[in-house]
Structure 1
Amino acid sequence: MFGRTGRRRRMVVGSCAAALLAGAAGTAHAVDNLPPKQPLVQDLQTQSKACATGDDTPYVSQPPRLSAMLYDPEEDNQPSESSPLSGEFEAWWTDAAGVEQRRTYTTITLPSGSRFYWTMPTGIPANTVVSWHVRADDGKATSAWSDDGGGSVCSFVYDDANPEKATISSPEYPNPDQVFWVDGVGVYGHFTMDSPSDDVVSYTYGFIGGPYGTVSAGRPGAAATIPYLPLTSGPNSLTVRAIDRSGRSSGESSYDFNVKYGRAPVARWKLDDPAGSRSASAEVGTAARAGIGVTFGGPAPTGIEPTATASLDGSGHGFLTTDAPATDISKTFAVSAWVRPAETGRNMTVASQDADGKPGFSLGLRSQHPGPVWSFAIADARVSGGAPETGEWAHLTGLYDAETGRARLYVNGQEVGTAAEAAPAATAGAFQIGRARGTTGYRERWHGDIGDVQVHDRVVVPDEVAELARRTPQLLGHWSLENAADGTSPEQSDGAPLRLGSGASIYRGSDNSCIPDLDPDCTYTPPPLVGDGHLHLDGETGYAAADGPVVDTGDSFTLGVVVRLADSEPAHPMTVLSQAGVHTDAFKVRYDPSTYKWQLVMPEKDEAGAPEKVVSQIASADGGEGQGQRLAVVYDDGTDTIKLFLDGYTNAEATASLPNGWHSTGALQLGRAKVGDGWGEYLHGDVDELQAYSGALRDAQVVGLGTGFNPCLVC
């Protein structure tokens, strides 16, 4: 009770005091009503821009809408909807004659806590500082103005003119609008944008195909320069607009230029020299002398230009060196090679360049927990990623971009790890293959095979990295399945034929041209799937098989086939393609009637009873008299992915990760799969156009599988 009385007395005394103060200030309000709160500067905006004045005065491109959040005091003990307020805005400026002009505006009534607006009239002068403030009115009393006491006036300048167009110049591309080709892909160009208008604060820009962006001027009216890295050759164009302080845009300026193809490497050693050579010839650059631990004539990855590699024994004699630098590593450079490690349990170097008792850079392999990784190091910066495998080929590219100051690492054409800030040494020592400089001599010697080492003095862009790592698929076999003799169907290039089991036969269609709908005595016979014939399987014992494995399932491969089921709703799963290991299939492609999908099925390991896993699937089947469906399996060991394609297309459900493909030893099968200790999942239907490739066809090439020609003629 005492507390309430004390509070009531304080309220009365406070109200009286407030009334006396208000009377002294010339602002009248009732004794039981407190005036609205003074608007806060942080609650005021000029066309969504914060309240500011002086050097921070905002510029606007049209007569702005002013706004303020206004509040009635909580001490009135009324809900916000019962505390209506209006806003009184006032703006002023000095006109061209030196006379002060003022405008006022009273808003509609809104609840306390609302945002109140005034859209300035169109007659306000341009390029003149206009100041404003606001106060709240509850109908009985008004607040202090927003700039009273510790508040601040708000200002703006209305800009009614667009800036002038920007001019564009480039030292690397100095002749716009002319047929003048400049080097080139992977080499930075620089474009400077400037405008005659002194209030331009930024420039928007865009190149054909990107990038697009906005760059700020260092100060109003200043020029701005952007770097540009061409990713493709051909004609290009830069478009620019100047943006002033008010957000107004100039007209569009354009600058046309032509980009050459990326220039060739500054050094290249294919390392396919004849066996017994004691040095590696250089396609470009300086020949590299070889230690006695280097043996030429080693195996090369299939599908690349060099047909041989160099094998290094990991000893102190297993190296190649030019005794001179390959490039200036203080500037942009890239180094790449095909490699196959003979071990992964220790640090090993593929390529490096000496610098004051240590490597200026090193590209290679690092052994660490939980497993080895590929590595590209420059001074104290290192990028790591990927998973080296003993006996497996990989393509490595290390890149240092001096424009960005970052080092990057690519494995099999894909960027791995996180780009690292790097500061390379300026010292230029000898280029090394198979070892790296240490304080007491060379170390981290390579044990394994190395081929096609290249050094570029520019950025090797992502598409070029992918092309360097590309292994052109090679046709292993094409069986058109149009005829058979002595129980075998031939391969088109006189390769190993397919052996036909019982229940398998070649169907060549009929020359009967009658139409069953018009001739009741005519019996319909479906045409062959592709060409003049196809393989028909009875679903009980019918199959066709090679005499051994056709594709290496531990490496990249592609298989394509055309299939038509005799029944769109068969009673059990049916396999069209499989290749076996010792105990189970390395993979099989089958139709699962319970899901109405084609499935790619693989076991976890080659062991008896190993559980199977559906790694990808795609709908649906074509039964009876349809045109058949074109199926393909593409395994890319470089990216550790396997895909199932239907009629040339795939999707996310049909794509899976396969990091550890294993080498199968069994024969390729058409129309059946391993089931327990024997065979099963026999296919009832037609099969045609079996094609097999070493290497992974590109998605665009898979579309051509099953059409009767070799899509890799354009690989």
Structure 2
Amino acid sequence: MVAGCAAAAFVAGTSGVAAAVDNLPPKQPLVGDLKTDTKACGAGDEKAYVGGSPVLSAVLYDPVEDDRPAEGNFVAAEFEAWWTGPDGVEQRRTYTTLRTTSGTTQWWRMPTGIPANTVVSWHVRAFDGTAYSPWSSEGDGTVCEFVYDDEFPQKATIQSPEYPQETSWVDGVGVYGHFTLDSPSDDVVAYEYNFIGGVYRTARPDRPGGSVTVSFLPERAGVYVLSVHAVDRAGHRSARSDYTFRVSEGRAPVAHWTLADQAGSTSAGAETGTAARAGSGVTFGAQAPQGTALASTARLDGSSHGYLTPDAPAVADPRRTFAVGAWVRPAQTDRNMTVASQDAGESASFALGLRTRDGVPTWSFTVGGAQLTGGAPETGEWAHLLGVYDAETGRARLYVNGHQTGTEAQAEPAAAAGAFQLGRVRGGQGYHDRWHGELGDVRVHDRVVVPAEATELSARKPRLLGHWSLETAVDGTSPELSGGTPLRLGPGARIHRGPDGSCIPDIDPDCPPIPYALVGDGHLTLDGESAYAATDGPVVDTSDSFTLGVVVRLADAEPAHPMTVLSQAGEHTDAFKVRYEPSAHAWQLVMPQRDEQGAPESVVAQVAMADGGEGQGHRIAVVYDDATDKITLYLEGQATIGSTADLPDGWRSSGPLQVGRAHAGVGWGEYLRGDVDELHAFSGVLAEHDISQLGWGTEPCLCW
């Protein structure tokens, strides 16, 4: 057995010797594995242009059939380059690398002195110490070529028909500018550019030395600067060219109907464009969305007579950029309804409105075969809709209450431009999908309405409903500063007045120490047993957007039970309550699922407190945005993780606003022991910078 093993070893060793003798030459380098700097091997019109002496590289392989594994084989690269000098004499240079592992990249950094603007050819072969591979140019291979370019391109020139350089303010927001970039140099292959210091982008002409046109959509008025570098085939960048232009505010609508006409009118006057004829199913003088500039709107009854039309196009050419928007309030959401459309023969070129799918309503913008949907229409609830078709990109967008919804879609609008319609859409031989509800402030633009403008069009200015400074009380009531509904103080509630400055305890030993008020000269103090304050009726409409702000300080670091600072009741329970929960050491926003006795409650938002709510007091705000179906609990003017929740179906409460107590089963409970000050109530959503101003004794600016 031992002899057999020895014999096997001898044969194996002999076989290894034979393999070494029969060494195979390295493989021919592949043209695809060759580079001049970072550029692929090419010749003729495909040759590389470089800005200096380049690095030539190749990946070389030795066959795996050799006596060693592939990773154990070593090869060297022999590079050869040649060119014809100015005197007509051919010059050649060679370079051989050290041997490295098969499959790795080999380099040759060429020496300086390569003549400019001269075609240099090169190839490479592999050497394993015994045999050479064929040159990379042999057989199906090819010679690689490059040219060293030592000249920089001239500066780019810039022109724009929409935005001429250094002129007065022109065109405006939402109108594309087209900028043609060119250079006197005939070897420019790219233009690197940016607008107002943004990220550089690259545009490439169809041929070297050609021009290229780039587009830009201004989204704000102001002075813009376009900066451009021309880049040649060798990668040289020219000096920078700057082009300054001035963009004005966005153009006014090409058609605009407020629909705030006098009751009994038979047509809608146009702020811009042509008056719209009204069918007999249209009633003017309907309610307008609060917080807007509209005084009234038009109500359409959903019948065949409920429509308005100027009997002419509002969009001159639907294939060009346009936008259409309106304030809408549907009286029903269980069927398809159209806000605005424009005829295109026996169909419509576009339609904005409400669609139902499997019984679920959604807002919709249909244009050129594309339908965008999003948002959740609610019966009797105002929304602002805006559809935008951008001919520059060929895409359509839908905005609901200032927020883009759904996904942009590619669209190809029809060329026909028929009459503009409000409240109906054409299909076949007649109209259908008639609107039932209110419409107002219909606008049609011949440009892109940019996102900031969409937000502005849908904005609803908050309105102050009440401000109770809680500094005085007369006959058991603390006044609202504008003469509105006062707060009536229940048993055990009192107004604490801070020191009046008549004496100073630190100087006068007979001066009684009096604690300062939370804010201003006084605050409301509650005993935690039966004390509260309340209005005579509801203050905020909890089914619509609202904002409440208050300053509160607890009397105890570890209260024995939850304590409510604000609530507003429905018939059987609270629509909401803001309370301190000692077990969680947090302020909570608590809401029931429905207005029923014993309805389950949910903590929809919570903000933890480090000091148990004592100290100098804390500024708390509750903001419900009906447009986004979000409700947020703010602390010290800030929203944090866990302080915002979805609230898709806010219901209207009918009871008074309560300070210091909440419903608890069949009676009242969760009485607050502590101090309350600076109570504010608004209809609408305060901006965050306004929320941060609440509780300081001054009115927020309500910037608009």
TM over 0.5: yes
| 1:612-627 pair list within 5 angstroms | 612-622=601-611, 626-627=615-616
Asked whether 1:168 is paired with 2:158, we answer yes
Change in CA separation of 1:302 and 1:38 when aligned onto 2, cut-off 3 Å: same
Change in CA separation of 1:359 and 1:203 when aligned onto 2, cut-off 3 Å: same
| Alignment-mate amino acid for residue 602 of structure 2 | K
Name the counterpart of 2:684: 695
- The answer as to whether partners of 2:690 and 2:702 remain within 8 angstroms in 1 is no
Change in CA separation of 1:523 and 1:486 when aligned onto 2, cut-off 3 Å: closer
Note the C-alpha offset of 1:204: 1.7
Note the C-alpha offset of 1:449: 1.0
- The answer as to whether partners of 2:462 and 2:702 remain within 8 angstroms in 1 is no
Name the counterpart of 2:40: 50
- The answer as to whether partners of 1:167 and 1:194 remain within 8 angstroms in 2 is yes
Asked whether 1:376 is paired with 2:365, we answer yes
Q: How many residues align?
A: 694
Note the C-alpha offset of 1:399: 1.5
Name the counterpart of 1:458: 447
Distance 1:475 1:629 in 2: 21
| Alignment-mate amino acid for residue 347 of structure 1 | N
Name the counterpart of 1:672: 661
Alignment partner of 2:475: what SS? coil
Alignment partner of 1:549: what SS? coil
Name the counterpart of 2:273: 285
Name the counterpart of 1:557: 546
Asked whether 1:585 is paired with 2:608, we answer no
Change in CA separation of 1:348 and 1:160 when aligned onto 2, cut-off 3 Å: same
Same amino acid, percent of matched pairs = 64
Please report the RMSD computed on the Cα atoms of aligned residues, expressed in angstroms.
2.8
Note the C-alpha offset of 1:298: 1.0
| 1:221-620 pair list within 5 angstroms | 221-330=209-318, 331-511=320-500, 514=504, 525-620=514-609
Alignment partner of 1:701: what SS? helix
Name the counterpart of 1:27: none
- The answer as to whether partners of 1:193 and 1:223 remain within 8 angstroms in 2 is yes
- The answer as to whether partners of 2:585 and 2:612 remain within 8 angstroms in 1 is no
My pick for the range that moved more, 669-678 or 471-480, is 669-678
Note the C-alpha offset of 1:712: 4.2
Alignment partner of 1:76: what SS? coil
Name the counterpart of 1:74: 64
| 1:626-637 pair list within 5 angstroms | 626-637=615-626
Change in CA separation of 1:141 and 1:108 when aligned onto 2, cut-off 3 Å: same
Change in CA separation of 1:573 and 1:42 when aligned onto 2, cut-off 3 Å: farther
Change in CA separation of 1:484 and 1:123 when aligned onto 2, cut-off 3 Å: same
User: What are the superposed Cα offsets for residues 179-224 of structure 1, whole Å, 9 maximum, x if unpaired?
Assistant: x110111112111111111121121221127575221112111111
Alignment partner of 2:65: what SS? helix
Asked whether 1:84 is paired with 2:56, we answer no
Asked whether 1:706 is paired with 2:695, we answer yes
Distance 2:314 2:615 in 1: 61
My pick for the range that moved more, 226-235 or 559-568, is 559-568
Note the C-alpha offset of 1:54: 2.5
Distance 1:655 1:561 in 2: 18
Distance 2:440 2:199 in 1: 35
Name the counterpart of 1:21: none
Change in CA separation of 1:620 and 1:136 when aligned onto 2, cut-off 3 Å: farther
- Which residue of 179, 190, 195 maps to 1:207? 195
- The answer as to whether partners of 2:76 and 2:99 remain within 8 angstroms in 1 is yes
* TM-score, normalised with respect to structure 1: 0.91
- The answer as to whether partners of 2:166 and 2:246 remain within 8 angstroms in 1 is no
User: What are the superposed Cα offsets for residues 230-262 of structure 1, whole Å, 9 maximum, x if unpaired?
Assistant: 111121111111122222211111111111111
Change in CA separation of 1:564 and 1:157 when aligned onto 2, cut-off 3 Å: farther
User: What are the superposed Cα offsets for residues 545-598 of structure 1, whole Å, 9 maximum, x if unpaired?
Assistant: 222221111111111112223344444433322223333332222333444433
- The answer as to whether partners of 1:42 and 1:50 remain within 8 angstroms in 2 is yes
User: What are the superposed Cα offsets for residues 482-536 of structure 1, whole Å, 9 maximum, x if unpaired?
Assistant: 11122221111111111222332212212466576x9999876442222111122
- The answer as to whether partners of 2:162 and 2:177 remain within 8 angstroms in 1 is yes
| 1:10-49 pair list within 5 angstroms | 31-49=21-39
Alignment partner of 1:374: what SS? strand
Alignment partner of 2:21: what SS? coil
Name the counterpart of 1:104: 94
Note the C-alpha offset of 1:714: 3.1
User: What are the superposed Cα offsets for residues 135-191 of structure 1, whole Å, 9 maximum, x if unpaired?
Assistant: 3333233333223333333332333332211111111122x234x110111112111
Name the counterpart of 2:170: 182
Alignment partner of 1:465: what SS? helix
Name the counterpart of 2:110: 120
* Structure 1 gap ranges (5+): 17-29
Name the counterpart of 2:143: 153
Name the counterpart of 2:652: 663
- The answer as to whether partners of 2:590 and 2:604 remain within 8 angstroms in 1 is yes
